[in-house]
Chain A
Amino acid sequence: MAMLNMAKALNLALREALAENDKAIILGQDVGYDEGVFRITEGLLKQFGEERVVDFPVAESAIIGLAIGLCVTGYTPICEMQFSGFGYHGFHQIESHATRLRNRTRGRFTCPMVIRMPYGGGIRAIEHHSESRETIWAHLPGMKVVIPSGPRNARALLRASIQDPDPVMFYEPKASYRAFREEVPDEPETMEIGKAQVVREGNDVTIISYGASMRPVLEAAEELEEDHGIDAELIDLLSLVPLDRDTINASVRKTGRCVVVHEAPKHIGPAAEVVAGIVEDSLLYLEAPIERVTGYDLVLPFFNSELPFMPDVRKVISATQKVLSF
């Protein structure tokens, strides 16, 4: 066991992937000699060489497009978009080919690629470096969307994503890269994609979130218990596609009350899908309307004023109290 932060845990998963799979290639801007702007690829070029860790020209569409060709010829590309805000250049290749090639060719060609991109606010970065646009990717048929929340699940899920036979959007909460350390097992742990985790058991209310928002949610749960005697159950979704409705249903049927939290804008956001699923499957178990704590339907303000626009402990507590007082 080593105590690692998420950045180091992701680095470990990448190192393991390159060592285990000689067809795995990391490609992205500044991932080689610079070791990535967030240092996620630290030491990898040195260990595996320029053929396996490729400093790519500044062309996100080409990173995805060429990765598709690599997949067709039997390679396992692991693409890094420097920031999710620049990933939209790659959208066309993702939507037009990466997510469709399996279907188009009836399984003859597939795209077992991972696209890593750091998302989310709270790091005082300039415009285009702070948004949460997972909804866009989760809406594409043929694309899996995995969002870790801590070092241990980041490592295990990245390993699983690289081994997955289909394209995976691996959305990394950059505010959590170095926020805390956690024990990460020495053995190469892999988690199944599509399974949510109950990270805190409780009976009064279910709070569902993922990624960077798990931190205020965890903090809120402690405070709810200590200050208000509310026993919240917390679910970390870990992936939006597939979405683990079984775990959500089991919890909501137990508590009868639910709050869904994410940084992404509210309108047609992941919480809407979660709530729709609960309504379809477990409506009669509900004892109160469900609350959503999300980003507003706005461009996230420049960093000097971004924080009040993001989910925080106070918003989660207030939404939970509202759900409980119905």
Chain B
Amino acid sequence: MPRKKITLENTIDSLSILDEKGKVDKKLEPKLSKDDLLKLFRAMTLARRYDERMLKLQRQGRIGTYGPALGQEAASLGPAFAIDESDWYVPSFREPAGMLYRGWPMARLMLWWGGNEIGATPLPKMNDMPISVPVASQIQYGAGIAWGLKLDGGDRVAVAFVGDGGTSEGDFHEGLNCAAAFGLPLVVVIQNNHWAISLPRHKQSASKTLAQKAIAYGIDGIQTDGNDILAMVEATREAVAKARKGGGPTLIEAVTYRMGVHTTADDPTKYRKDEEVEPWKPKDPLVRFWKYISDKGVLDEAGREQMEKEVTAQISEAVEASESYEPNLMEPFDHCFAERTPALEQQRAQFEAYLNGNGNGKASGSAPVSHSAVH
């Protein structure tokens, strides 16, 4: 028997449209109206200021641990922009830009990081999964959602997110492998921010790119400049258009960088040199997008200042709404099962007596104080 070579199609595209100086590749520039550009710029500005505010709130002890997305706004926003409201958005936990764009009330995201389940509860009509904590696990239910959409027979798609560290998880492999084998309308975006807490990208995987993992699954993979909002919009649009036509999943590796801490619970100086961060500063997605839209005459300095004011006001309002929220301590007993089991009935009564007896909890069945404020 001879020993033969099996030829594989083993190239992947790398896409960059808007460089760090704000210069655009005219041939690749996606069609975006002035309104679209303004919407995107506002969303990116909002996410940036939200992020900055969250770090302050954490330092002031007003929320719990926070995982900032500083510098990664384009990678989650582009895909959110490129899909329809009726499509599904399946985040990990570093996608506030996309989540806010999709319509999550900012106060709810603040409440999530403040330790409240209402922050994991999307508004009734949103096709959005909440923040997912266990790394890469969301790729699996993202594929399941895509399966449901395929069975429904329409042309809707699901977009799911994972980090570079998540690509080492079995769930990443199983989810992508099954999505590919079933031809599901799923787009998986890897936010390759180069660091999984303390483990650098090169120690995470021997693969030259993360996008090339697509080749093994028999699907398309593309590497994009994750700090380039235009490239993120374009790559997602292509993947989504293909998925809508029954072309199956796509893997997008958004190359970005974690400018800050993994979460406020860690100290990157222990494992990362400041010099490594420096070259990424000029690649900031917001800075280059600003250059682009101001060069285009879409927004001027005065317009931007006005926008910043509005964004600041919006954030302050959300902080206020989130901080006026009071959880209903009896509520967990209502959401374990559709109906309480006898054991839970008994435990609920014991807990209620405990709360009342100590006078430090809410009265039985008290309604959440300010639900409306966090909508």
Interface set of A (CB-CB < 8 Å, partner B): 25, 51, 56-57, 59, 61-62, 64-75, 92-93, 96-97, 102-110, 141-142, 144, 165-166, 194, 241-246
Looking at B121, B151, B174, the one whose CB has the most chain A CB atoms below 10 A away is B174
Please state if B117 and A106 are interface contacts (CB–CB under 8 Å).
Answer: yes
Please state if B117 and A104 are interface contacts (CB–CB under 8 Å).
Answer: yes
B158 contacts which chain A residues (CB < 8 A)? 69
Secondary structure at chain B's binding surface: helix, strand, loop or mixed? helix
Contact indicator per residue, chain B 328-342, by CB within 8 Å of chain A (1) or not (0): 000110111110011
Q: Which residue of A lies closest to B139 (CB)?
A: A65
Answer whether residue B12 sits at the interface, using C-beta atoms and an 8 A cutoff: no
Please state if B336 and A74 are interface contacts (CB–CB under 8 Å).
Answer: no
Contact indicator per residue, chain B 115-131, by CB within 8 Å of chain A (1) or not (0): 00110111010000110
Please state if B332 and A66 are interface contacts (CB–CB under 8 Å).
Answer: no
Interface set of B (CB-CB < 8 Å, partner A): 117-118, 120-122, 124, 129-130, 132-134, 137, 139-149, 151-152, 158, 170-171, 174-175, 177-178, 181, 331-332, 334-338, 341-343
Please state if B141 and A97 are interface contacts (CB–CB under 8 Å).
Answer: yes
Contact of B171 among A25, A61, A244, A246 (CB under 8 A): A61
- Nearest first, the 7 A-B pairs at minimum CB distance are A69-B144, A65-B140, A73-B148, A66-B144, A242-B341, A62-B174, A69-B145
Please state if A72 and B174 are interface contacts (CB–CB under 8 Å).
Answer: no
Please state if A106 and B148 are interface contacts (CB–CB under 8 Å).
Answer: no
Please state if A70 and B343 are interface contacts (CB–CB under 8 Å).
Answer: no
A65-B171, A69-B148 provided; 16 other pairs, C-beta below 8 A? A51-B151, A59-B177, A69-B145, A70-B145, A72-B144, A72-B148, A73-B148, A93-B137, A96-B134, A102-B335, A105-B121, A106-B121, A165-B337, A243-B342, A245-B343, A246-B342
Please state if B336 and A142 are interface contacts (CB–CB under 8 Å).
Answer: yes
Contact of A92 among B124, B134, B144, B147 (CB under 8 A): B134
Q: Which residue of A lies closest to B338 (CB)?
A: A165
- Given A166-B338, A245-B342, check contact A103 B143 (CB 8 Å): no
Please state if B142 and A69 are interface contacts (CB–CB under 8 Å).
Answer: yes
Q: Which residue of A lies closest to B143 (CB)?
A: A66
Please state if A108 and B140 are interface contacts (CB–CB under 8 Å).
Answer: no
Please state if B117 and A59 are interface contacts (CB–CB under 8 Å).
Answer: no
B181 contacts which chain A residues (CB < 8 A)? 57
- Given A62-B177, A142-B337, check contact A103 B141 (CB 8 Å): no
B130 contacts which chain A residues (CB < 8 A)? 104-105
Expressed in whole angstroms, the minimum distance between the Cβ of A103 and any Cβ of chain B is 4
Expressed in whole angstroms, the minimum distance between the Cβ of A100 and any Cβ of chain B is 9
CA distance in complex: A166, B344 (Å)? 15
A65 contacts which chain B residues (CB < 8 A)? 137, 139-141, 143-144, 171, 174-175
Expressed in whole angstroms, the minimum distance between the Cβ of A317 and any Cβ of chain B is 32
Expressed in whole angstroms, the minimum distance between the Cβ of A247 and any Cβ of chain B is 11
CA distance in complex: A243, B341 (Å)? 8
CA distance in complex: A62, B178 (Å)? 7
Expressed in whole angstroms, the minimum distance between the Cβ of A101 and any Cβ of chain B is 8
Expressed in whole angstroms, the minimum distance between the Cβ of B370 and any Cβ of chain A is 15
Looking at B120, B144, B181, the one whose CB has the most chain A CB atoms below 10 A away is B144
Please state if A72 and B140 are interface contacts (CB–CB under 8 Å).
Answer: no
Looking at A74, A93, A144, the one whose CB has the most chain B CB atoms below 10 A away is A93
Contact of B341 among A66, A96, A97, A241 (CB under 8 A): A241
Please state if B141 and A108 are interface contacts (CB–CB under 8 Å).
Answer: no
Please state if B148 and A75 are interface contacts (CB–CB under 8 Å).
Answer: yes
A244 contacts which chain B residues (CB < 8 A)? 342
Please state if B141 and A68 are interface contacts (CB–CB under 8 Å).
Answer: yes
- Given A73-B152, A75-B151, check contact A66 B121 (CB 8 Å): no
